[in-house]
Homo-oligomer: A and B are copies of this chain.
Amino acid sequence: MKPHEEHRSRGPRELSFWVVTVSTSRYEAMASGKNYADESGDRAVALISQAGYKVVGRSLVKDDVVMIRGILMDLLRRPDVDVVVFTGGTGVARTDVTVEAVRPLLEKELEGFGDVFRLRSYQEVGTAAIMSRALAGVSNGKLVVVLPGSPNAVETGLGIILPEAPHIIYLARS
């Protein structure tokens, strides 16, 4: 076993995830009782479950700094949540504020996550990868991940973070 495989194996076996979709249009559909699809959130839940982790909850918020920081602080205080996954609101439009909302609340940023995410995106979609903002870090002993709001980006991002989550949580709590 190589060192990083050893470390990885020392992490908690069971991890509990919470998935937060950031989307004003879906939020307003939900609020007015209309039907809406949340393909990115659905994909996240499916991938997390397939990897053998638990999804203990799911939320939908607007592209709004206060709502995003609010749900993040709710989850950081919950003892039954280990990993928070945001999807959506990461582009360069003025309404995209998820990265801006979450970054100042991380204790340490995993700078390499963005690098590996872009490397894989580049291999998949070429230069369009430059528009993908993505973020991971730790706070209060939990892992926080921010991914773009497309099912493909969610798949790319979780493909990187899911194998490492137990190790990151182990270190963040040490």
Contact residues of A with B, CB < 8 Å? 2-4, 8, 66-67, 69-70, 72-74, 76-77, 91-96, 104-105, 107-108, 110-116, 118-119, 121-122, 125-133, 136-140, 150, 152, 159-161, 163-164, 167-168, 171-172, 174
- A171-B128 contact, Cβ under 8 Å, with A70-B76, A74-B70: no
Q: In the complex, what residues of B have CB within 8 A of residue A108's CB?
A: 92, 96
Interface pairs (26), CB distance under 8 Å: A2-B125, A3-B150, A66-B73, A70-B76, A73-B74, A92-B137, A92-B138, A92-B171, A93-B171, A94-B172, A94-B174, A96-B108, A104-B104, A110-B131, A110-B133, A111-B114, A112-B114, A112-B118, A112-B129, A112-B130, A116-B118, A116-B127, A116-B130, A127-B160, A131-B167, A131-B171
Please give the distance in Å from A168's CB to the nearest CB on chain B. 6
Please give the distance in Å from A19's CB to the nearest CB on chain B. 19
Please give the distance in Å from A162's CB to the nearest CB on chain B. 9
How far is B133's CA from A111's CA once the two chains are assembled, in angstroms?
7
- List 10 A-B pairs, minimum CB-CB distance, nearest first: A4-B128, A112-B130, A73-B73, A115-B118, A70-B73, A113-B130, A112-B118, A93-B174, A66-B140, A70-B77
Q: In the complex, what residues of B have CB within 8 A of residue A104's CB?
A: 104-105
- A164-B130 contact, Cβ under 8 Å, with A171-B93, A174-B93: yes
Q: In the complex, what residues of B have CB within 8 A of residue A76's CB?
A: 66, 70
Q: In the complex, what residues of B have CB within 8 A of residue A121's CB?
A: 112
User: Which chain B residue shows the least CB distance to A100?
Assistant: B108
User: Which chain B residue shows the least CB distance to A152?
Assistant: B3
